[in-house]
Structure 1
Amino acid sequence: MGFAERLRAELSQAELPGRVGFAAWDLTEREPVLLGAERVVPAASTIKVLIMISALRAVQAGRIGLDDEVELPAERVGGAGLLRQLRSVDRISLRDLITLMIVISDNAATNAVIDAVGFAAIRDCAADLGCTGTRVERRLMHHHEPGRNETTALDQARVLDRLARGAALPPELTEHALGVLAEQQVRDRLPALLPVGANCWNKTGELLGLRHDVGLLGTDRPRAVIAVLVDELTDERSLSGYRGGPACEAIAVLGRAAFAALS
């Protein structure tokens, strides 16, 4: 019995709140386990993985350096992060912006990276990585701007798969991206129930009524990819805040099941 068969058995028994988009596979066996995987949903902060890869491709192309300083937007948006509170800071390196964008999901840092890279480059990167239902059309927290930021579980898994296999970036930048993902501070979903010795390279996303987590699972190196996108949540905690709730608990169970399916 391989990874896909073991995980399908667990998925069929899982109690899943809301609407779930799910995609996972072993990076070696490559047989996908899919459930609502092509359903388009708001991306929330999971879109930051694609933005990070787009920025690192700009570094690869020589258009910008990791240690080049980037001017921060005059308007510091709210939501997650701390740059909004650091009013005396008006420039910061691309390296540090990427770290803030992923590790603490800083929205102001994300918008600075978007401005530095450009929407066209992000769109081209998404297409090159095989995304078919992903759009990045406006800055984060700029709800008054036209356009949508949306994705699918399958697209998220494709992006992380390409990253893990070294097909998205050259080796040095691949290691940089994985190192940043490994420092993710929101650990209440995919990594929450993993055993000692397991590792998770992940990025969460949340809005009212929505909880996501996408990541890579393994020990010393990634061995599987998993994306769980949950929307249409109706419980009080999910509708009134941005942390916790039954979807986070369900995603944690699926993360544990996916890691166990590797053995």
Structure 2
Amino acid sequence: MKYSFLLFFLMISSAVLPQQETQILQQKIDSIFADTQGDYALAYKDLSEGNGTILIDEHENFHAASTMKTPVMIEVFKQAEAGKFSLDDSLTVKNEFTSIYDGSSYSLELGRDSGEHLYSQIGKKRSIKDLVIDMISQSSNLATNIVIELVDAKNVNKSMRELGAKNIDVLRGVEDMKAYEAGMNNSTTAYDLMLIFEALANGKAVSPEADKEMLEILRLQLHTDLIPALLPRDVKIANKTGWITGVHHDSALVELPDGRSYVLVLLSKNMKDMEAGTEMLAGISKMIYDLMINNP
């Protein structure tokens, strides 16, 4: 009888402890956010459900910056699967786009784009898949605008709504300064980005095959100074960052060596010290990782 009671106690303790640790960690992160200059949001979900979720200002709207490139990629794969084009089809690399504000033309500045190599290929052909890889791995703005013109931002939004992401708005391409100054900006929430990465992890964004391929592209990410920064090298991370002045975001599916995985989204705005804010957010990512490791 004593042994049965002890076994029951241990089973209850093991079920409650991870939840308690998650709640304690949420309180700690809340305190860190409050003590750090700027505004922050977090959405974490253990896809094995053992450690639950942590949600902090998850429905707060943020300028999407380059996190909007993940929804754009999903729409590309969706249209390709529907037979509208093949990912192997080619598009001409160009640097002239139409502002959604007034229909005027604008071009991107080489010095403002992290995908600089693509500018040497203007006038040449490049496959749609290669442009998507540039858009994600190097966060190429030029590739993004070419691809958005192909699939139409309105279709991106429609697909996001179908995935349950009600507050992501992809209105336009990158560096449409007239639209930016008029407040016509792409926006997102931590919660919606969490839903998108969860859908990719579960093979429900487009299809199991397409989602697997998109996650492989996300794993090619070259910008790793936030969620991946302090994590061990044997952790697989499929992530997409975004940054502009005062803003640094990251959104990721993190896969542990033991087969478990989790989604983490970290958003920020109004930061005056970008370096300090980035270091803080990288530290939060490590705290989430430690929660998972300590509660197998």
Matched, 1:200 2:237: yes
Q: Structure 1 residue 190 and structure 2 residue 242: aligned?
A: no
Q: What's the counterpart of residue 155 of structure 2?
A: 121
Letter in 1 for 2:197: L
Asked if the contact 2:203/2:212 (under 8 Å) is kept, the reply is: no
Match of 2:87 among 39, 48, 66: 66
Matched, 1:32 2:53: yes
The structural deviation recorded for 1:256 is 1.1
Q: 1:168 aligns with which of 197, 205, 221?
A: 205
Deviating more after overlay: 9-18 vs 43-52? 9-18
- Identity percentage over the alignment? 28
Taking the aligned partners of 1:199 and 1:87, their CA distance within structure 2 comes to 32
CA contact (8 A) 2:165 2:192 kept: yes
Q: Is the 8 A contact 1:6 1:261 kept in 2?
A: no
For normalisation by structure 2, the TM-score amounts to: 0.80
Is structure 2 residue 112 aligned with structure 1 residue 82? no
- Let me know the Cα RMSD of the aligned residues: 1.9
Q: After TM superposition, give the deviation of residue 69 of structure 1 in Å.
A: 0.5
| Residue 161 of structure 1: how far off its partner (Å) | 0.8
Could you tell me how far apart the structure 1 residues matched to 2:86 and 2:169 are? 25
Gapped runs of 5+ residues in structure 2? Answer: 1-16, 97-106
* Alignment partner of 1:259 is 2:289: yes
1:211 partner SS:
strand
Cα displacement (A) at 1:71: 2.5
Give the match for residue 111 of structure 1. 145
Q: Report the structure, 1 or 2, having the larger helix content.
A: 2
- Tell me the CA shift for residue 222 of structure 1: 6.4
Q: Is the 1:182–1:200 contact (alpha carbons within 8 Å) kept by the matching residues of 2?
A: yes
| Deviation of 1:28 (Å) | 2.2
Superposition misfits of 4+ residues, deviation over 4 angstroms: none
**Deviation digits for residues 202-250 of structure 1, max 9, x if unmatched?**
1111001111111111225661001111101122xx3xxxxxx112111
Q: Which structure 1 residue ranges, 5 or more long, are not aligned?
A: 239-244
1:57: Cα distance to partner? 0.5
Query: Which secondary structure does the structure 1 equivalent of 2:252 belong to?
Result: strand
**Number of matched pairs:** 255
User: In the alignment, is the contact (CA less than 8 A) between 1:10 and 1:257 conserved in 2?
Assistant: no
**How far apart, CA to CA, are the structure 2 residues paired with 1:181 and 1:7?**
28
Return the TM-score normalized by structure 1: 0.90
For 1:162 and 1:7, the matched residues in 2 are separated by 25
Q: CA deviation at 1:2?
A: 2.6
